[in-house]
Amino acid sequence: MRPIARRRTLVAAALAALVLAAAGTVPAAAAPGGQHAPGGSHGPDGSGGRGGPHRPAYYLAVGDSLAAGYQSTPTGGHVVGRGYAQDLARTLGARAAQEHRPFEFTDLGCPGETTGTMADGGCPYPHSFTGSQLEAAVAYLAVHRKDEVLVTIDIGANDVQRCAAGGTLDLPCALNGIEQVRTGLDRILGELRAAAGPHTRIVGMNLYDPFLAAWVTGDRSRELATASVQLSDSLNQVIGTVDARHRVPTADVAGAFATDAFTPTVPLGGQQVPLNVARILQWTNMARGDIHANDAGYQVIADAFLAELPRRYPKG
């Protein structure tokens, strides 16, 4: 998702009041994650140690700002490297350590990335690779073709999110963005799959709907919230279909965030709101106009990825 810490699509003050009032219902925040999990580290060129009694396991995260672990801060700044990929790497690194296996984690995620820039280059945020993120990922997989590698990918939000800016939904823009995801993700997964070795797992994810937060800003905004779910469902259906075409399981982040659940209603900030609205206000930073997940939300995303892996993965 695009790294914009403060958006004008919603009334941030109203959201902040709700979330502050409901602070006791938010799960405890995860510890900030670094770029590397226990067991070693290396860059996109694949360099790094391969020693130890068991062959190492590798984790490569590719995608947009969610993969990069982007979050805004209350003071108006932002951090990266504090997201689902770091949460997932900690869990997988701990599992590998129990098996006395080296584990190495590389994060190529670039905030602002679209399917187009991922494939052709031009991510607007400073990043660790030259050329495109897809080229860097393919090069990484070529180096590790014989190794056990997990690849996670999230992409597509930035192709469509601009279509719900300003408190309205631009339907032609949204339909065009979804088609861009269909063709762009197909190309990306095709190239990743072609570069992957026999021991590489690729897992995708669908997306939560941050614009559900509009529900609490007025009756007209509830129309935007409802319409945004229809857009989200269409986008997620495309992601799931393209993933399946390339034999890539899809982590059900939308399901974990209860995106379609306008019932039941639950208490939040002194009022009753739909469950899907509550989840967005609890697990993202929409209270200050930032569409990105918070620590709790990123852990939910990591858990959705874990659900698509064997319970003992990685295992020597």
pTM of the model: 0.85
Neighbouring CB atoms inside 10 A of 299's CB total 21
Identify the pLDDT of residue 172: 93
Name which of 167-181, 248-262, 286-300 the model is least confident about.
167-181
Asked if pLDDT for residue 28 goes beyond 50, the answer is: no
Looking at per-residue pLDDT, the higher value among 103 and 36 belongs to 103
For residues 8-19, give the mean pLDDT: 36
The strand ranges marked E within the chain are: 57-63, 71-72, 78-79, 103-107, 148-154, 200-205, 250-251, 265-268, 271-274, 284-285, 290-293
Distance CA 186, CA 180 (A): 10
DSSP string across 230-297: HHHHHHHHHHHHHHHHTT--EE-HHHHTTTT---SEEEETTEEEEHHHHHHHHHEEGGGTEEEE-HHH
Distance CA 243, CA 177 (A): 17
pLDDT digits 0-9 by tens, 82-113: 999 999 999 999 999 999 999 999 999 999 99
For residues 8-31, give the mean pLDDT: 34
Asked if pLDDT for residue 27 goes beyond 80, the answer is: no
For residues 25-49, give the mean pLDDT: 36
Measured N-to-C along each axis, helices 133-143 and 171-195 cross at an angle, to the nearest 10 degrees, of 20
Identify the pLDDT of residue 40: 37
Looking at per-residue pLDDT, the higher value among 16 and 61 belongs to 61
pLDDT digits 0-9 by tens, 178-218: 999 999 999 999 999 999 999 999 999 999 999 999 999 87
Distance CA 196, CA 191 (A): 9
3-state secondary structure of 106: strand
Q: Show Cβ contacts of residue 172 under 8 Å, excluding neighbours closer than 6 positions.
A: none
**CB-count burial class (<10 Å; 0-12, 13-18, 19+) for 270:** exposed
Please state, in angstroms and as integers, the Cα–Cα distance from residue 133 to each residue in 118, 153, 190, 205, following that order: 5, 11, 14, 18
pLDDT digits 0-9 by tens, 130-187: 999 999 999 999 999 999 999 999 999 999 988 877 667 889 999 999 999 999 999 9
- Considering only the C-alpha atoms of the chain, give the largest distance between any 2 of them, rounded to a whole number of Å: 62
* pLDDT mean across residues, the chain: 86
Which architecture, in CATH terms, is 31-256+298-306?
Answer: 3-Layer(aba) Sandwich (3.40)
Identify the pLDDT of residue 220: 75
Identify the pLDDT of residue 230: 93
Identify the pLDDT of residue 169: 82
Q: Show Cβ contacts of residue 98 under 8 Å, excluding neighbours closer than 6 positions.
A: none
Domain residue spans of the chain: 31-256+298-306
